[in-house]
Amino acid sequence: MKSRIASDDPLATPDFFPMAIKPQRNTLVFASMTRESLVQSPCLDRWYTVFASSTMLMAEIPKLLSRGPQRPLHFILHNAFCGSTLLARHLEGLPHCLVLKEPQVLGQIAILKNRELVPSEPDRWADWFEVVFAMLARGYPSDREVVVKASSTCNTLGNALLDHDKNTKIVFLYSGLRTFLLQVLKSKDRRQWLRKHMEDVLAGQMTQVPFLTGTRAADLTDGQRASTMWLVNSFLCRSLLTRSDANRILLLDGEDLISRPTEVVLAAANFLGLIIDDADRTVLNDIRPIVHHAKDAALPYDAETRAAELAGAEERHGGEVQAAMAWAETVSGGWLAESPFPVA
CATH number belonging to domain 71-96+144-338: 3.40.50
- Does the pLDDT at position 118 exceed 60? no
- Does the pLDDT at position 274 exceed 70? yes
- What whole-number distance in Å separates Cα of residue 47 and Cα of residue 248? 33
CB contact at 8 A, 77 and 169 = no
Q: SS3 of 133, please?
A: helix
Q: What percent of the chain has pLDDT over 70?
A: 77
Q: What is the dihedral of CA 327, 331, 334, 337, to 10 degrees?
A: -70
pLDDT of residue 323: 97
CB contact at 8 A, 119 and 45 = no
Quickly list DSSP for 234-298: HHHHHHHHTSTTGGGEEEEEHHHHHHSHHHHHHHHHHHHT---SHHHHHHHHT----SB-SS-TT
Q: Phi then psi for 117, rounded to 5 degrees?
A: -60, -25
CB contact at 8 A, 60 and 131 = yes
pLDDT of residue 185: 92
> Which of 79, 325, 307, 330 has the alpha carbon at shortest distance from 178?
325
DSSP 311: H
Mean pLDDT, range 13-18, rounded to an integer: 68
How many helices (H) does the chain have, and how many strands (E)?
Answer: 14, 8
- Of all helices (H) and strands (E), which one includes residue 230? helix 222-241
- Does the pLDDT at position 5 exceed 50? no
Mean pLDDT, range 304-320, rounded to an integer: 92
Is the Cα torsion angle 316, 319, 324, 329 positive or negative in sign?
A: positive
pLDDT of residue 191: 87
Q: SS3 of 6, please?
A: coil
- Does the pLDDT at position 254 exceed 70? yes
Mean pLDDT, range 231-245, rounded to an integer: 94
pLDDT of residue 173: 94
- What whole-number distance in Å separates Cα of residue 101 and Cα of residue 150? 7
pLDDT of residue 131: 79
Q: SS3 of 234, please?
A: helix
CB contact at 8 A, 110 and 307 = no
Q: What is the pTM of this model?
A: 0.86
pLDDT of residue 325: 96
pLDDT of residue 137: 79
- What whole-number distance in Å separates Cα of residue 82 and Cα of residue 256? 10
